[in-house]
Structure 1
């Protein structure tokens, strides 16, 4: 960040195929109560998202520094964000999505959380879910505990992290480790932040989170796929995601020679958990049943994976077709 940077916070509003929602998302960003740098960036959408964004902000004259841009080619979420992290000037990056609605106090509340806790490197929040038309669905949905560190991920046994749409990070989370090495930006950024310190999930809902069947998360987990191949698609995509996350965090650990022995051991266990989950799912998809035993045994040795691994052991006893495979 330049020593003369005017804004502490850079809002990175990423969009893809968001023609119908981008204007409202921009209005929500511009309604922030704290002046900030706002970068609206379209990931080379095949529709009119970029043109709509340009028209919507034409003649803007307000307290924020506003930039509207488009990637030269489609990058995907992680590469898109990496590009924006390198462009942004703030010391805090607040991520917004082109189909969600940030509350006006989101930037101010997020900055205050960082300022109050120098050891915190990632901040998320509970969210209020809305449908495609903007009608409320669920309120106060929480994806993480109020405070967490590396030890949480070792105990939790689920590979969930802060929701990308609610995520904000300190600049160091990018600068220390470089561009993201995979598509799962929320997992990687949350875990990188935990390597450096701790994370928070605020009790205050700061966004209306739109439940979009075409979102990256819904695509990866095949949540709206009713086809017979749903189970296979979900497992194939999560295997790739988990391995990518493990690769990124392993490389990030290598860039922290000063990491103390206890925290290094926790971080290495997190990498191991992601690899066990990837190996277990891969074995279930394509390998003979005897090859399931290795990942199941390794999982049983990790407290957070014991329940999942025990359930997989039971699957050894039932036909593969019972859980969606031929």
Structure 2
């Protein structure tokens, strides 16, 4: 089994250096690909200076983030793809940990780990929450979308996720109409139709939180609309096994209104907050979903374990991947 790391970049050489360095420092052999979306800085000169350690492609014109990811996957020779934005980076044993888990569940098509949120000085601000009650487990395909719908199984950002190349291609790749606004989540929804999902409660990646992040360009209303679209897609993909337990979509719609109105209030955008909240303020089912989502942590993990199969993966040995079953979440 071979991994390819696909790094997409555009005019952020100072950050790209770190992403490439973390990829070349992996404890298992892998292919490293950089897709340069027509940068005007010194990106090309730097990456070419690395020689054959990195496969480099420069777009003749700026195609956008989603198209860059699609091109990188097409050029990759690995069975599994680890996407990486240029402002994020990996722990040295990221691929080793994922490979050890994937080897135990060949039916898996997607794998997610915890990530540390860091600032521009690489100071850790927080970590993505643990998923489920085990340190490493897989979820059968028929349970995935139900867990995604109720936010019990958040795959997270590209820094956290790896996927099987054939499933990605079969799913149609990333949708450029969603460029940097849930194009990743949209892809996870479709990839998860083709097999099982692995979750590792272990921090193997680092995601930079900074004002210039692409997804911060979108107004709250636009982010709400895209989030609603993602929920509609997940709702339609829920298996018959869980169909009777799924809340009415009207409740989910109103829950999202409440969530994004609170986001707007936090950003001191009173007008958008009032517009978003609207009739949702009187929806008790929506408030229940909001409170359930805000509870998170152990309560959400326990609730999900009652409904969704979380089948443990055994710890591996020797080497760093043995920490899969260590119980420390690291």
Q: Where on the TM-score scale, by shorter chain, does this alignment land: which range?
A: 0.5 to 0.7
C-alpha displacement at 1:11, in angstroms?
0.9
Pairwise mapping of residues 75-94 of structure 1 onto structure 2 (< 5 A)?
75-94=63-82
Q: Secondary structure at the match of 2:19?
A: helix
**Matched residues in 2 for 1:15 and 1:107: separation?**
21
Per-residue deviation, 1:178: 0.5
State the partner residue of 1:205. Answer: 203
Kindly state the Cα deviation for residue 73 of structure 1 after the two structures are TM-superposed: 2.7
Of the candidates 175, 183, 205, which is equivalent to residue 169 of structure 2?
A: 175
C-alpha spacing 1:125/1:72, structure 2 compared with 1 (3 Å): same
Aligned CA-pair RMSD: 3.8
Unaligned runs of 5+ in 1: 1-6, 221-232, 254-258, 309-326
| 8 Å Cα contact 2:27/2:92 also seen in 1 | yes
**1:42/1:70 contact within 8 Å kept:** yes
Corresponding residue to 1:153 among 140, 148, 154 = 148
Give 1:200 shift. Answer: 3.1
Q: Distance in 2 between matches of 1:126 and 1:175?
A: 25
Q: In structure 2, do the counterparts of structure 1 residues 272 and 262 end up closer, same or farther at CA, with 3 Å as the change threshold?
A: farther
Q: Given that residues 11 and 94 in structure 1 are in contact (C-alpha distance below 8 angstroms), is that contact kept between their aligned partners in structure 2?
A: yes
Q: 2:103 aligns with which of 107, 115, 122?
A: 115
Q: Distance in 1 between matches of 2:58 and 2:249?
A: 34
Match of 1:141 in 2: 128
The equivalences for 1:1-326 within 5 A come to 8-55=2-49, 57=50, 59-60=51-52, 66-134=54-122, 136-138=123-125, 140-142=127-129, 144-145=131-132, 149-156=144-151, 161-181=155-175, 182-183=178-179, 184-220=182-218, 233-234=219-220, 236-245=221-230, 253=237, 261-262=240-241, 265=243, 285=272, 292-293=278-279, 300=285, 304=289
TM-score normalized with structure 2 length: 0.66
CA distance in 2, matches of 1:76, 1:266: 40
Q: TM-score, normalised by structure 1?
A: 0.67
Distance 2:44 2:251 in 1: 40
Task: Please list every run of 5 or more consecutive structure 2 residues that lacks an aligned counterpart in the other structure.
Answer: 262-270, 294-330
Q: Which has the higher contact order (CA 8 A, sep 6+)?
A: 2
Of stretches 195-204 and 140-149 in structure 1, the one that deviates more from structure 2 is 140-149
Task: State the 1:250 CA deviation.
Answer: 7.8
**What CA distance in whole angstroms lies between the structure 2 residues aligned with 1:199 and 1:238?**
26
Q: Secondary structure of the residue that 1:72 maps to in structure 2?
A: coil
Q: After superposition, give the CA deviation of every residue in 1:7-42 in whole Å (9 maximum; x if it has no partner).
A: 621111112232212122212111122222211112
Q: CA-to-partner distance for each residue in 1:187-240, whole Å, 9 max, x for gaps?
A: 1233234333443332222123222221134444xxxxxxxxxxxx22x22134
Query: For residue 3 of structure 1, what is the aligned residue in structure 2?
Result: none
SS of alignment partner, residue 239 of structure 1: helix
Count, aligned residues: 272
